[in-house]
Chains A and B, each alone.
Chain A
Amino acid sequence: MIDPGFNSVLALALEQAINTALKLDPGTRARLRKLGKSLFHFSCSAPETNFYFEIHAFDPPDRATHVSVASYSEKTVTTKISASLLDTLLFLATGKLEGSTNLVGSGISILGDSAKLMELQGILQDLDIDWEQALQEVSTPGGEIAGVLSHQAVNAIKMFLAWFNKSRTKFHDNLATYLQEELRLLPTQMEFNNFYENLAELRSDVERADARLSALLQKLKAH
């Protein structure tokens, strides 16, 4: 088990990161407010850590909706998710829980209200941080020049990210084609399906032969 103090530091870091992101995305904050007061427990393995994400939903103008993250809690949990630490961090960053569509064999288990978790997943996937505002906050006080600069900087970052995503997809496709068609290291999907069908046919033939053999042996024994 990880040092409780270190677990607490990780929780604090996550809390600060989440709340900073929430400040820059009022849309997500509003959706979290609709999700209502809930507590998600991520029981992580490798290394063994615990994170309790509590959503504090407030109606404005009282206080801004925020998330508190703790390493220990005795409150009633809405949903408990057992996953690896890496899966948990990926979930928080992208809203995607590996194997959440097919939990069998994924090492992830979900207990409690899974509908709320799916709702949270949707909210995290739609997270849209206003980087322009964040940069503007960093660059102020500087007035309009800072505003223009931050706008240009965000445009450049957006262009880079778009290029990066496109290149990544292209590279993935090209690599698959190269490995399958040029080097012939990997089978294509059609080849794999054919092989699997042949294998299944062979298996049923063997089973039929085995059944006939058993029946013949029984007849021989009877005579």
Chain B
Amino acid sequence: MKKDQTTHFGYEEVKVEEKADRVAGVFHSVAAKYDLMNDLMSGGVHRVWKRFTIEVSAVRAGQSVLDIAGGTGDLTAKFSRIVGSEGRVVLADINDSMLKVGRDKLIDLGVAGNVHYSLADAQHLPFADNSFDCVTIAFGLRNVTDKDLALASMLRVLKPGGRLLVLEFSKPQSSLLEKIYDQYSFKVLPLMGKLVANDADSYKYLAESIRMHPDQETLKTMMQNVGFVECAYYNMTGGIVALHKGIKA
């Protein structure tokens, strides 16, 4: 990608090289209250979305899992229990504040031994080819500057037959739900961010970035284009969130 190219940061057009820093700023700001805000914003439903992701991952004991943009480690904690002492889970995040919050939380919960931490950029994953049975990225892909590059990097680190799961906000399937969701995102969310985390702008960015993220079919095509096979997606909560699945041939 050329240096003078632009990309979106929410509804704002920014230089490509600026986006990562701007996104990092948002997550440095929200890291401390990330879990609380997640529960408040989704009414706790994010736990259900993550539970379904774990089920579809079909991860077994002894396998290797990479949890990209793992943030505060919700998925990592669950994967750690499933893979057991013979397996391993790598919690990767580009943002050191999020990674620190996640690491502290997991250690406090007693999740340790098979969990490793990596400060890593999803576009350039610092892992060997064919090294994971499953790669997940939950609510992280929309913040990545070059999504195709990130998807290709995930394909590279997956073992043949391994699966990628992308859990991300998507396009509601009913126009009525979309209208309600828009009102909620642009009116309630920033207000909630201001009251709880004293940071309305970051939550305004979160709402905008969701709208700029590719819809279900577009993301599926992107996954197919980088080389994933058997791509499919599951709409949850009326399409507000979609779980995309792809297999490395």
Contacts and interface: CB of A to CB of B under 8 A. Distances in A.
Interface of A: 3-5, 7-9, 12, 70-75
Interface of B: 45, 48-49, 51-52, 55-56, 58, 234-238, 241, 243
The 9 closest A-B pairs by CB, nearest first: A5-B236, A72-B55, A74-B58, A8-B52, A70-B55, A4-B234, A5-B48, A8-B51, A5-B237
A72 B56 CA distance: 6
Given A5-B48, A5-B52, A5-B237, 7 more contacts: A4-B243, A7-B52, A8-B48, A8-B52, A72-B52, A72-B56, A75-B58
A12 B54 CA distance: 13
A71 B235 CA distance: 14
Contacts of B241: 5
Contact of A3 (B55, B56, B58, B238): B238
B148 to A, nearest CB: 27
Contacts of A8: 48, 51-52, 55
A5 B243 CA distance: 10
19 contacts: A3-B235, A3-B236, A4-B236, A4-B243, A5-B45, A5-B49, A5-B52, A5-B237, A8-B51, A8-B52, A8-B55, A12-B48, A70-B55, A71-B55, A72-B55, A72-B56, A73-B58, A74-B58, A75-B58
Contacts of B56: 72
A4 to B, nearest CB: 5
Residue of B49, B55, B236, B237 with highest tally of chain A CB at under 10 A: B55
Contacts of A72: 52, 55-56
Nearest to B238: A3
Contacts of A75: 58
B59 to A, nearest CB: 10
A156 to B, nearest CB: 36
A199 B55 CA distance: 57
A7 B56 CA distance: 13
A12 B52 contact: no
A163 B93 CA distance: 62
B17 to A, nearest CB: 37
B186 to A, nearest CB: 23
Contacts of A73: 55, 58
A71 B58 contact: no
A83 to B, nearest CB: 21
Contacts of A3: 235-238
Contacts of A70: 55
A4 B241 CA distance: 11
A15 to B, nearest CB: 10
B68 to A, nearest CB: 21
Contacts of A12: 48, 51
A117 B235 CA distance: 32
